[in-house]
Amino acid sequence: MVTFNTKDFEKMDKRYRAKFINSLSGAKSANLIGTKSRGGQTNLSIVSSAVHIGSDPALMAIIFRPATVPRHTFENILDTKIFSLNHVSEEFFEKAHQTSARYPREVSEFDAVGLTEEYVEDYFCPFVKESALKILMELKEVHHLQINKTEMIIGEVKWVSAPRECLREDGYIDINTIGTMSVTGLDSYHPLKKGVRLSYAKPNQEVKTLDRDGLT
Amino acid sequence: MVTFNTKDFEKMDKRYRAKFINSLSGAKSANLIGTKSRGGQTNLSIVSSAVHIGSDPALMAIIFRPATVPRHTFENILDTKIFSLNHVSEEFFEKAHQTSARYPREVSEFDAVGLTEEYVEDYFCPFVKESALKILMELKEVHHLQINKTEMIIGEVKWVSAPRECLREDGYIDINTIGTMSVTGLDSYHPLKKGVRLSYAKPNQEVKTLDRDGLT
């Protein structure tokens, strides 16, 4: 067992520390954010910070790095109030990762990495055609986190598209059946193994294993 | 392909919607939060909302449900400013899930579910002995998210303990080697498959696959 304290963190090289600290939270989600500027320029950006905030209304938060780096996606969201979230799967995770390169503003990451823009139901922002689970988000709140100058946006889920075969009777979506990946650290992509669903926990009652349809 | 819009969300039964919306963000982290009240009562609570906020300083955020439900862990954190995060692994994920049952305030979930309190280096809060990766967190900020009355806390990483075999040369921690689980939806627990590490992305340069030690 190795232990590290704040003095050890301070002594770490910047890149080493970024990889180390990014590993601590555990498994992360892998999503591509699709946006379009008012001028029609599309952008695509991978994020591992999308997190569930609530079900009613349906809300998610996403963290963006400080304004010292170019953030075309963040600016498009502020400006147009609308963006897509697209699950990253095993078939195209290398292309998804490549969207993190610092392309100039006039380059669309869709073209640069070889993913396909898709437009549905008159929504302004592009979706990723290759993605099995697509979500339309509407910007609701922006929180500037003073502590380290990151920005947290909260968006509301307005529309979802998913393959029928991943939908379970009780509302659960089995994202493992559509190959959704998990990220660890800054750069490691993991398929998930088959999940084990557990019953709702109550005091003085043993947790039961449910089958994959959520039925005991 | 099946699509859902806000009207469909509104028509969903409350439990169905909770399972559906909780599935959308993708893979989530699985951590146990260990706290102790000033009076000495310990608490243990599973969370899937721990998210990386920054590396320097080392920060994570965690979302707590509205104050309408008992939140002994949240109250302990506000009061004592210190808590532990403990990765949930395949060996004890059923016990970890059972901490989500609504135990009375005077019951320690450590005892109720059969996990072991561990104290290190004079830190006030308990860690989970069974957990391979343990983190000491200090409360830095509390954000009340007015939009749905959830609370977001931001904590600073002050101390980390991890097995030597999961530490890579470049700072990456291979949490897959210690069995850290991912959560999908509300109740599904997934081991990760072996990860594929990709090189830092640059424009006009193809992404390379790195070996698991992060060395090309």
Task: Give the closest of A56, A203, A210 to B102, CB-based.
Answer: A203
Q: Does residue B9 form part of some domain?
A: no
Q: How far apart are CA A83 and CA A66, in angstroms?
A: 20
Q: Does residue A2 form part of some domain?
A: no
> CA angle at residue B190 from B189 to B195, to 5 degrees?
150
Q: How far apart are CA A127 and CA A15, in angstroms?
A: 32
- Which residues in chain A are closer than 8 Å to B57, comparing Cβ atoms? 147-148
**Cβ neighbours of residue A10 closer than 8 Å, sequence gap 6 or more:** none
- Which residues in chain B are closer than 8 Å to A155, comparing Cβ atoms? none
Check residue A210 and give its pLDDT. Answer: 84
Cα R_g (chain A), whole angstroms: 19
pTM score above 0.90: yes
Tally Cβ neighbours within 10 Å of residue A94: 18
Peptide bond into B57 cis (omega under 30): yes
CATH number at residue A78: 2.30.110.10
Cα R_g (chain B), whole angstroms: 19
In this complex, do A15 and B191 lie within 8 Å of one another by their Cβ atoms?
no
């990889």: which residue's tokens? A19
> CA angle at residue A134 from A132 to A136, to 5 degrees?
175
Mean pLDDT of A157-164: 98
Cα distance from N-terminal residue to C-terminal residue, chain B: 40
Reduced to 3 states, what is the DSSP secondary structure of residue A152?
strand
Q: Does residue A195 form part of some domain?
A: yes
Structural domain harbouring A51: 13-210
ipTM rounded to 2 decimals: 0.95
pLDDT digits (tens, 9 = 90+) for B26-74: 999 999 999 999 999 999 999 999 999 999 999 999 999 876 566 899 9
Q: How far apart are CA A52 and CA A59, in angstroms?
A: 6
Q: How confident is the model at residue A21 (pLDDT cuts 50, 70, 90)?
A: very high
In this complex, do B141 and A147 lie within 8 Å of one another by their Cβ atoms?
yes
Check residue A138 and give its pLDDT. Answer: 98
pLDDT digits (tens, 9 = 90+) for B94-133: 999 999 999 998 999 999 999 999 999 999 999 999 999 9
Q: Does residue B199 form part of some domain?
A: yes
Q: Does residue A5 form part of some domain?
A: no
Check residue A71 and give its pLDDT. Answer: 84
Q: Does residue A187 form part of some domain?
A: yes
The number of distinct structural domains making up chain A is 1
Q: Does residue B101 form part of some domain?
A: yes
Instruction: For B132, name the nearest residue in chain A, comparing CA atoms only.
Output: A1
Q: Does residue A175 form part of some domain?
A: yes
